[in-house]
Amino acid sequence: MIANRRLTEEQYQQNFADIHPPFENREGAIIEANRCIMCYDAPCIKMCPTHINIPKFIKQIATDNVKGSARTIFTDNIMGASCSKVCPVEKLCEGSCVYNLLHEEPIQIARLQRYSTEKAMYNNWQLFERKPSLGKKVAVVGAGPAGLACAFYLAKEGVDVTIFEKESKGGGLMTYGIAAYKVTPEFCEDEVKYITSIGGIDIRYNQELGKDVHLKDLQDNFDAVFLGIGVGIARRLDISGEDSQGVEDAISYIYNLRTNDFSSVPVGDKVVVIGLGMTAIDAATQAKRLGAKDVTIVYRRTENEKPCTDVELDIAKLDGCNMEYLAAPKEVYAENGNVKTLVCSRMKLGDADASGRRSPVETGETFEIECDMIIKAAGQTPFEGLISNYELQNSYGKVSVNSAYETNWKGVFAGGDCINGGKEVVNAAQDGKLAARSILEYILN
């Protein structure tokens, strides 16, 4: 049965509490910072997509120069506070820390980054001075990580930026698409305020591209445009019964969870989640934390090919989610319009595809999983309609850009999930920063 209010208010608070608690005090951060051996040619810098000077900011924490440390982080990544909470650090900076080679715990880079960036945010430290206005205007579409990063680095150089955001709050995926135990909507709101406090950034909410604002008008009325529109809607499974009551897509489900009280979000007794990416994990763990009795994650390959990280998978397992590998959804069986069973094809691994990953092939066997809710998290399809309406050059809906992040529209640049199909927040932040550099060069020449 699908129902809401399965838990007490206390249980909701407990289940959705911060999964990565911060350092309890200054001493804790300083002790951890002093473990870093400040490697020459530090591998952690290379593995950070925004190339934050990690040993430098850690050294600054070790010497109690927290302001300096926050400035070091924000110089390369203005989304550094968010990234300290949501980056898959185990496959990025921390995964490359030399301590791993010694079979010791890597430096807690994310936790240290959180220590200084949160101090900066909550004390409203103004670490950068905006240059005098250049008299140039740039429109940014989307107030997610890519759009905010682009807007910040442009505003810092004296550009006047207007952001058009379709939702009523900024933050994009951070605000609407990530598990609540990783980051709260309040934190996202504070971060948007902090980033825009540099000045020169005007955010207009409830303004959707293609509906309230149009690309040609932006191109005509601004010196340049940046598209940070993110990736589109959940991919359909195209199987029989998919539109039955109780079949949800993970993006809408997480959006619902992020914009309502936990107690008002309905969840089934027996939930099946399809997919094994980050969004699938976020959907499965949150369904469990909302009080689902049984959550099963269905994935068509084996654990070895999983797109999520080991740490993410461990969270799901610790939350008690069941794993069903080598299984692909074949049919949703419903009674009176309500989901009853998911019929799956048993798969086996066949030959490797172009990327080197072995492809799943049907064995001919099927099996059933009894369930009253199915959450689909088998990837997202870009905003193909919007992109083709505007005749933006694209590859399967992903906007094509040149090495300067410029699209086939003159003066229109793009970055983040809309060009890469959905990577990490840190990748979007890096795109926004690099696109800002290109835009600056474009508008000043």
Task: Name the residues that contact ligand SF4, by CB under 6 A.
Answer: 36-39, 42-44, 54-55, 97-99, 107, 109
C-beta of 99 vs 128, nearer to ligand SF4? 99
Phi/psi at 93 (5° precision): -60, -55
The distance of closest approach from Cβ of residue 112 to ligand SF4 in the complex, given in angstroms and rounded to an integer, is 9
Residues whose CB is less than 8 angstroms from the CB of residue 122 and which lie 6 or more positions away in sequence, other chains included = 190
How big, in percent rounded to 5, are the helix, strand and coil portions of the chain? 40, 20, 40
The distance of closest approach from Cβ of residue 363 to ligand SF4 in the complex, given in angstroms and rounded to an integer, is 44
Distance of CA 230 to the CA centre of its chain: 10
CB 315 within 8 A of CB 295: no
The distance of closest approach from Cβ of residue 43 to ligand SF4 in the complex, given in angstroms and rounded to an integer, is 5
C-beta of 107 vs 272, nearer to ligand SF4? 107
The distance of closest approach from Cβ of residue 85 to ligand SF4 in the complex, given in angstroms and rounded to an integer, is 18
Residues whose CB is less than 8 angstroms from the CB of residue 168 and which lie 6 or more positions away in sequence, other chains included = 205, 206
CB 345 within 8 A of CB 217: no
| Crossing angle (nearest 10°) for helices 66-76 and 54-62 | 170
C-beta of 109 vs 201, nearer to ligand SF4? 109
> Exposed/middle/buried for 322, CB within 10 Å: 0-12, 13-18, 19+?
middle
C-beta of 44 vs 78, nearer to ligand SF4? 44
Q: What does the block give as tokens for 124?
A: 């409203």
C-beta of 106 vs 171, nearer to ligand SF4? 106
C-beta of 10 vs 103, nearer to ligand SF4? 103
The distance of closest approach from Cβ of residue 31 to ligand SF4 in the complex, given in angstroms and rounded to an integer, is 14
**C-alpha span between 272 and 214 (Å, rounded):** 39
CB 198 within 8 A of CB 389: no
C-beta of 38 vs 404, nearer to ligand SF4? 38
The distance of closest approach from Cβ of residue 15 to ligand SF4 in the complex, given in angstroms and rounded to an integer, is 32
Residues whose CB is less than 8 angstroms from the CB of residue 440 and which lie 6 or more positions away in sequence, other chains included = 154, 157, 159
C-beta of 49 vs 55, nearer to ligand SF4? 55
The distance of closest approach from Cβ of residue 29 to ligand SF4 in the complex, given in angstroms and rounded to an integer, is 14
The full 3-state SS of 336-371, as one line of letters, equals CCEEEEEEEEEEEEEEECCCCCEEEEEEEEEEEEEC
Distance of CA 144 to the CA centre of its chain: 9
**Run of H or E including 412:** strand 412-414
The distance of closest approach from Cβ of residue 194 to ligand SF4 in the complex, given in angstroms and rounded to an integer, is 25
The distance of closest approach from Cβ of residue 96 to ligand SF4 in the complex, given in angstroms and rounded to an integer, is 6
C-beta of 42 vs 297, nearer to ligand SF4? 42
